[in-house]
Structure 1
Amino acid sequence: MSGNQNMKFLYAGIAIALLISVLAPFLASSDPDGLESAAMDIVDEAKLTAMEEVAPAVESPMPDYAIEGMGKTGEVAAIVAGTLIVLVIGFAFGKLTKK
């Protein structure tokens, strides 16, 4: 691939990642994910509730993939921000490890 084709491929990948980020809150299921439902089957409900009430070691800046008080707009903003952060970290790591 030439440099121009590589850049088109990169831009297409970024556009697809951002499109998925924007659509995810509207397409995601409200049912518990596989890990949560498996935990509910294995662990006693009282014990699971007690584990959920334990304060985390580090507070999440955007818990539950959302910005509180903004509804679906906050969910979209949080996921887009997370996607962009991961893309920037990946790009920086690629630049640092490039030979």
Structure 2
Amino acid sequence: MMETNQFVAIGLVVAILIGVTAVFFAAGDPDGLESTAIVILGEKDLFGPTPEDADPEAVGHEGSFEYEAPMPDYSMGEEGGKMGEVIAVVVGIILALLIVFGVGKAVAASKH
């Protein structure tokens, strides 16, 4: 029977492989989170065009939307390419694993 540590290690490797592979198939269009941020900030209607697609005279703005992101488009500077996306996926997977383990330990400790 497989040990728990072995199971977790294999699961982590599989998750990273899937995540890194997905980076190369991901669409370049704004994702749901980015689109939702634009809607919440009032720069776009829920079902309307994005600020970049909108007619500036019809909506009353220049048709551009900017906000500061800690890692814009998962890039690492001008020549970062896909490497920033790969790093973001790997770091995200590891952080999620650590959070799950932390919550699991806290729940287990509270039951004793």
Same fold (TM over 0.5): yes
CA distance 1:75–1:8, shift in 2 (3 Å): same
Q: Which runs of 5+ in 1 are unaligned?
A: none
Which residue is 2:22 aligned to?
24
Give the RMSD, CA atoms, in angstroms: 3.1
Q: 1:76 offset after TM fit, Å?
A: 0.8
Q: How does 1:58-77 map to 2 (within 5 A)?
A: 59-69=68-78, 70-77=80-87
Q: How does 1:1-99 map to 2 (within 5 A)?
A: 4=3, 6-33=4-31, 36=35, 42-44=47-49, 45=54, 46=56, 49=63, 52-53=65-66, 55=67, 59-69=68-78, 70-98=80-108, 99=111
Q: Which has the higher contact order (CA 8 A, sep 6+)?
A: 1
TM-score (normalised: structure 2): 0.58
Cα distance in 2 for partners of 1:87, 1:61 equals 21
Identity %: 39
1:24 counterpart letter in structure 2: A
Larger Rg: 2
CA distance 1:93–1:15, shift in 2 (3 Å): same
Cα distance in 1 for partners of 2:47, 2:99 equals 37
Cα distance in 2 for partners of 1:42, 1:61 equals 27
1:68 counterpart letter in structure 2: G
